[in-house]
Structure formats: C-alpha cells, structure tokens
Amino acid sequence: MSQVVHERFVAIAETLSPALAEAFARGGPVNFRPDDSQPLAERLCRSVAGQQLSVKAAGTIWRRVVEAAGDTPLTDFLAEADGEALRACGLSAAKCRAVGAIAEQARLGGLDTETLRELDYPERSRRLTALWGVGQWTADMISIFHFGDEDVWPDGDVAARKTLIRLTSPRRKTTRTAARFAPHRSWLALYLWRHVDAPPL
C-alpha cells in the first residue's frame, strides 16, 4: 500500500512543484501506522496537554500526570483531581479544565471509540470539538493517529501547512493543494512532517 501511495504522490507532486516531487522521491515511502491501543479519553487528554509545547516538554508533563495518578485509573484521576494537583504537573488552568471535562465525558459513556470510528471525518470532528478544550488540530490528530483515517488534511498544523507552502507556492491555498492528494491526505501530512522531522504527538 505504501509503495502504491508513494508512486501516486510523486506523480502528483511532479505536476505541482519540482521541490515537492524531489522531497517525496528522496524520502521514499512513508509508513502509516495508526495506534488505538491507548484508551481514547487518555489519548485526547494527552494531546490537549501537549498543545503548543515541544515534544520534550509535553512528554515531561504527561509523565508527571501519570505518576501523580499512581494506582488510580488515569481517567478517574483526571476527572476527580483538583486543579492544584494537575497544575503541579505543569498543566495550565485551561488544560486542567479540558482534561477534566474529557475524562468526565468518557466516564459518562460519551466517548465510545467504536461509535466515533464509524462516523465520517466531518461528523467525528464535530463531536470531538464539542468537548471543552478540544480544537480542530486535536480532532485531526485523533482522526489520523487513533482512528487511522487516511484522508485528513490538518491545515491547522503549522509544520505541515508551512512545509507545503514552502515546497509549492505561497500563492496557492494549502487546502486546494492538499485536495489533489485525496483520498490520502493524511499520508500527505506524514510526508511533510517527515520532511521537517517534526512529527506531532
């Protein structure tokens, strides 16, 4: 599959920009390996906790959260912990509120993985972004890396968007360029992240 997608991407890129085609060809195929082994609520909370932080800083904060939970199931800890305990781990007040709301929604049964998996991308995004503190970027990362949706273009991701602009043209909308790669726009993001060596959480 990855080789088929790769050959198609190089062919499309050649019609858009020599720099884009060269970047794809030089890097070779990418591997698309979504992972849904972690409970969805925990994945969402970790993603929110890491927003606007470096990968290293986000990892450090999340390790503190897990350590603070101890033997308590993480979702229960996040739903019940007071703000002071979470802020001591490095979370902002807004992120404390967000992870608490996500965890509580999960405990109430509002984050059923299989139900969300069966939805199309727009509806899944609508449901995820209805959660307090979950923005479109987080919803996109969950759709790509947790649910394995192959056709998500995360235009709110700065690394992916700026790299696509740099390798094509600042005069062309990135959503229009990305549309050329449907139904594999998630793969496009993977190619671009690899190019700048800046994978998301």
Name residues whose C-beta falls within 8 Å of residue 101's C-beta, 6 or more positions apart in sequence.
131, 132, 133
Domain chopping of the chain, boundaries: 2-32+151-196, 40-140
* pLDDT (0 to 100) of residue 135: 92
Establish whether 157 is a catalytic residue.
Answer: yes
State the architecture of 2-32+151-196 in CATH terms: Orthogonal Bundle (1.10)
Active-site choice (140, 149, 155, 157): 157
The reported pTM is: 0.87
- Assigned token pair, 84: 């002071």
Residue carrying the six token digits 């800890």: 77
* pLDDT (0 to 100) of residue 168: 95
* pLDDT (0 to 100) of residue 34: 94
Compute the CA torsion angle 143, 141, 126, 61 (nearest 10 deg): 130
Cα 1 from Cα 186, distance rounded (Å): 14
* pLDDT (0 to 100) of residue 53: 82
User: Which helix (DSSP H) or strand (DSSP E) does residue 135 occupy?
Assistant: none
Do the Cβ atoms of 61 and 50 come closer than 8 Å? yes
Cα 89 from Cα 79, distance rounded (Å): 15
Compute the CA torsion angle 87, 90, 94, 98 (nearest 10 deg): -90
* pLDDT (0 to 100) of residue 156: 92
Cα 200 from Cα 163, distance rounded (Å): 14
Residue among 114, 109, 121, 137 at smallest CA distance from 44: 137
Cα 150 from Cα 181, distance rounded (Å): 11
For each of the chain's 201 residues, which pLDDT tens digit applies? Answer: 889 999 999 999 999 999 999 999 999 999 999 999 999 999 999 989 988 888 889 999 999 999 999 999 999 999 998 889 999 999 999 999 999 999 999 988 889 999 999 999 999 999 999 999 899 999 999 999 999 999 999 999 999 999 999 999 988 899 999 999 999 999 999 999 999 874 454
Q: Which fold has domain 40-140?
A: Endonuclease III; domain 1 (1.10.340)
Do the Cβ atoms of 28 and 40 come closer than 8 Å? no
Question: Which amino acid would we find at residue 25?
Answer: A
- Residue 165 half-sphere exposure, CB side, CA atoms within 13 Å? 13
